Every structure is written in structure tokens, then in C-alpha cells.
Amino acid sequence: MPVTMFDYIFDEATVVDGSGKKSYFADVGITDEKIQAIGNLKDTSARHRIDCKDKILCPGFIDVHSHADVIIHDPNHHNILEPLLRQGITTFVGGNCGMGLSPFSDKYRKQAFQYISAFLGKNAESFIHWNTMEQFMEILSSQGMALNCGLLVPHGVLRIAVKGLENSTATPDDIQQMGILLEQGLDAGALGMSTGLMYFPGLAADDDELLSLASIVSKKSGVFTSHLRSYTNTLQLAIDELVNISLKTGVKAQISHLFWLPHVNRLVDTISNWLARFGAKIYQRVKIPIPLDRALNQKLEHLQILIQQGMPLGMDVMPTGTGFTHALAFFPPWSLQGDYEEVLERFRNKTTRRKIYKSIMQGQSIWPHRLEDTWSMNFFKIMGFRSIYLMSVVSSKNKQYEGKHMVQIGKERNQHPFDAICDLLLEEEGRVLVFETPTYPGDEFVERSVYGAIQDANTSIVTDTILLGFGKPSHLFYDCFPKLLSKYVRTEKRLSLEEAIRKSTSLPAQQLGIKERGRIKIGYNADLVLFNPKTICSHSTPLKPDVFPEGIDYVFVNGKAVVTPEGYSPKPYAGKLLTR
């Protein structure tokens, strides 16, 4: 039955529909959360008409690698996550890297809370009153959300529910118990399972464990995403591990935030990091087009062949040269076993602290990175303390150090950088988030190392959001997609507008199995962004990241105008919990 009265009509829009096909001119009508008509709607009535002349209308951006799930339950999440909506993100997928807010077991609930509290910056016991994925999803659905959210079952938390914070391979009984919890999460509607194989405790998983769990994900038609076991000297082996899992189980696989960090040995790494810093200084003055993405492009060429052969494989990338995580990720796995007090006591004890430092400095990044001192995220050694910047702390006494690297902080505290990070962890009760980069956060020179991935047809664009309402966030949390459209499309012309939007909408939707979103198509949900292609830009910087972009006029979530020229209006919540 034809619609006689639309909620909104977008008049004379330049429609970039998310498919990658060339833009076209049309009116678009939406009613009851859905796109109802595309074409000439001049003689049709609407409660609101929006003049879209010289503007681009595209689907809302879908960010499939995010950690916004750690705050989406919060009554104030609409304010904390405002930067996402302001830049046009209407859907995110959380539970990535093996970390999330369920499932929990009574036996290891305390250890699980200690693990996730490192990310949250607060005591998980104060607000988590659920155990299962189903219970968590029910709470989200009943409370409502400012934007759409899909969830993955996080393997790291799943593992803790069965084994606690133990650095050992799983027994057949452990794997069976993990499988039961995984299946429960998938049946509740999770989109798949995520792994964080570079992190403790996920790094302890072997082939038997991963293949068994991947088989369950495959049977349920979910996706198996992976923060790979390595992004350094053994990146190809880490990719091969995920490819092998997909080939043996048939599971749809996703490589999370693809990047490559050169690593040979301490001397070569030191020289490499020095050259990167020197190159960054030169690049600030003269934009020399040095192809830093050559090594990563070789991996992409191999992956493209597999995809062309029919392998269900996808990738995503952050348009930045800066990563971010919790500081504990850089410590030897053996030092992170046990409960919270045991871990902190190791940092407190001078003898054990020296042992940890020795473990870091003598550790070797040897595949499969499960044995003692072979973990691949030994970034203190690979990159040096000069490359680790403080992202956020909880207490006011250490806020002065946010945005500074560990060598600076050590000098200000009259300490060796390693002692400084250990004492910060003690003072902040383990709740310390950091940036890692060979140069400085937001450096455009190092960002060249991911140019090939940003341009790759099978790689979607993501933010890796960790927004908690405090600390110094990444500029990506404010400018990821506006930056893509201004820098990579308008200024440098590395992508066409249609391709950039496809990589931000329909491609990630297809990769994670998200239905009826990511396209401007009749019957699809009305998640939409209206922007000016000539003015869209961002003034967010590493030192002052919390600046909203320009050039975005409207953002719609399920037919509700959340961002308008008048401002930000998240309530009543229009977001939906997306299930498989």
C-alpha cells in the first residue's frame, strides 16, 4: 500500500546508496523507521521536508570494531558516545578483541571483573548484575540505546568464566564448558565470537580450543573475528592461523584492525623507531610520499586471492598510525595470572618487578607466542618506552601525565620509565589505558603504513572506540569517518566517494551479517547521514581530540533525527539491539 504521508522527505539529494555504485539524484521518503520510497516525491506529503540540494545522503556509518559496548549500558551513555553519532556512526559492533561484559561464572566472577575493570576505569561489581549474554542483551533492550548495537561473544571473558586468569591450554572439559557458554550467547543473538589472541588470557588458546569454538560459530552462521596473535614479525603466521581455522570449520572470519609493526631485534627496532620519529619530523614540513605500506600490501594481495577463491574472509582497519589498549597488555602473561591482589603484589615487590623487567627485555617474539616470554605484544621492548603514551587514568593526581610518553613521565617522577608505569598501575589499581605508536599519537607519517588497507576493497573502516567519559581519547573517536571523506576522498583522492561510503556501510554490514542496514534501499532501516561533501572535515587533533566535525547536517537512527543543524537530540532513544 503506497505511503500517503511520510515522516521525512529528503528533497533533491545526491544519493550515495552504500553499494559502491555511482551516485544519483533522488528524493528519499522515510516512515516508521524505514526507507519507504526513492524517486520523485515532489507531489507527496511529509511531516518534514529537508532541502538536500548540493548535499550527500548516504547510509549511517557502521563501525564493526568498537568497544562502546563497555559503556552502552550506562544511563549517561548518550552523552559519552555523542562523538560517534556526531560523526555519523549509527551502528557499532562491540565485544571485540575477546573483551566484553559477559558471560560470567559464579566461580570466576571476581577474576573476570578484575580483568574488565582495567578497561572500564571503575569497579565492575558496582554495576554488573548479570551473568549471561542473554541477560545483558535483555537489559540493553529494556533500557534503550542512542544508536544501534550488535554484540560478539568475547573469547577472553568466556575463557575466564571457565578457567579463571590462568595461562594454560584448555582441557577437553574446559573446551566443552566454553562451547556451552558460547552456544548460549549465539542463541541469544550474538553476531559471532571475537578473539584477542595477542592478549592474556586469549593468547593461551591452542588449535584444539579455537577450532572447536569456531565450529560452533560456523554451525550457528556467525562470524569469527580476531585480534590476531601477532601484528609484528610473525604477522603472516597469525593470518595463516585464522585462515586455517576458516578452512577447517567453514566459519566466516574477520581480521580485526589490520596493521603491521616491523620487528627484528632490539638494535634494529631501536634504529627503526628512531628513523620513524625522524621521518615524522621531516614529513611535517615536506609530504614525501614514502610507501610505508609495502609490507602490509603484500599480505593484502594474498588475502585478496583467498577472497576471490570464495573464502568467507573480511578485514577492517583504523585510519591512524596509533593503537590503544590497557597498559597490562604489554606485561608478560605469567605476571598477569591469578587474582587482582596477586598481580599488583608482583608490581609492588621489587624483586618480582626486576624479574618482570628482565622478562620483557630478554623475551623473544617466537611463534606461537604461547610459551613464557614469547608473547608478541611485548611493545615495551619492540617500540621502547618513548612510544607508549598515557591515554587515561582514573585518579586526579595522575591526570597531569595524560598525553605524555613514558620517558617524559619517568623524568617528571624521577623514575625509570618501567618503574613509572608499574607505580602508575599500582596507584590507579590497574586502570591505565595507553596509546602505542613509533612516533606520536595521530602522526600522518606513520599513518601511511595503513594506506593500502584503507584503499583495499575488502577492508572496512573502524574506530576501535574506547570512550569512557574521561582521559584523552583518540581523535578517531571524533573524526574517523569525516576524516576518511575529507582527507582520503576530497583532498588526496585515494578513494572515490562511493567507494569510501561502501567501505563504511554495506561492506561492514555484509562482513558481520547485519541485515537491512548499510544501504539506501526501500525496506531498509532509515539510518542516514546528510553531509556537505565540500565542507565536511574535522579539527580534532591528538592534543585536543574532543572537537566535533563540521559539514554533517543530519544523522538519523531508525528514522529519528538524532543530529540536526540545531544540535544533538538523542532522546527518546532510537537505537536497536541487533541480533543474528
- Give the pLDDT score at 224: 98
Cβ proximity of 479 and 486 under 8 Å? no
CATH topology of domain 60-263+294-322+441-515: TIM Barrel (3.20.20)
- Give the pLDDT score at 542: 83
**Peptide bond between residue 319 and the one before it cis (omega within 30 degrees of 0):** no
Q: What phi, psi does 150 have (nearest 5°)?
A: -115, 155
Name 213's Cβ contacts closer than 8 Å, sequence gap at least 6: 155, 175, 178, 179, 182, 193
- Give the pLDDT score at 339: 83
- Give the pLDDT score at 265: 87
- pTM comes to 0.96
Q: Which helix (H) or strand (E) holds 50?
A: strand 45-51
> Which 8-state DSSP code applies to residue 145?
B
Q: How many helices (H) and strands (E) in the chain? A: 20, 22
Q: How many CB atoms neighbour CB 269 within 10 A?
A: 20
Residue 377, SS3? Answer: coil
Q: Exposure string (b/e) for 141-153, b if CB count within 10 Å is 16 or more? A: eeebbbbbbbbbb
Nearest to 86 by CA among 469, 550, 518: 550
- 577-578 and 567-568 strand pairing: unpaired
Q: Exposure string (b/e) for 434-443, b if CB count within 10 Å is 16 or more? A: bbbbbbbbbb
Q: What phi, psi does 225 have (nearest 5°)?
A: -100, 150
Can you spell out the DSSP letters for 213-250? HHHHHHHTT-EEEEE-S-SSTTHHHHHHHHHHHHHHH-
10-residue mean pLDDT series, the chain (580 residues): 84 98 98 97 96 98 98 96 98 98 96 89 87 97 97 98 96 98 98 97 97 98 98 97 98 97 88 86 85 94 96 97 93 91 93 97 94 93 95 94 96 98 95 93 93 98 93 94 98 98 98 98 98 96 92 98 98 96
- Cell 583495499: give the residue: 456
Tell me the domain boundaries of the chain.
1-59+516-535+548-571, 60-263+294-322+441-515, 326-436
In whole angstroms, how far apart are CA 322 and each of 22, 327, 443, 539, 573? 33, 15, 8, 17, 32
Cβ proximity of 548 and 23 under 8 Å? no
CA distance 8 to 34: 11
Residue 391: what residue type?
M
Grid cell at residue 474: 583518540
In whole angstroms, how far apart are CA 111 and each of 107, 334, 407, 431? 9, 15, 31, 15
In whole angstroms, how far apart are CA 359 and each of 372, 373, 381, 388, 542? 9, 6, 10, 18, 32
Can you spell out the DSSP letters for 242-286? HHHHHHHH--EEEE-S------S-HHHHHHHHHHHHHHHHHHHHS
Name 449's Cβ contacts closer than 8 Å, sequence gap at least 6: 259, 260, 292, 293, 296, 321
Grid cell at residue 394: 582514573
CA distance 544 to 508: 29
- Give the pLDDT score at 341: 87
According to CATH, the superfamily of the domain at 1-59+516-535+548-571 is Urease, subunit C, domain 1 (2.30.40.10)
Assess whether the region 1-59+516-535+548-571 and the region 60-263+294-322+441-515 belong to the same CATH fold: no
Tens-place pLDDT, residues 202-254: 999 999 999 999 999 999 999 999 999 999 999 999 999 999 999 999 999 99
Which residue(s) pair with 313 in the sheet?
253
- Give the pLDDT score at 340: 82
Residue 9, SS3? Answer: strand
- Cell 552504500: give the residue: 18
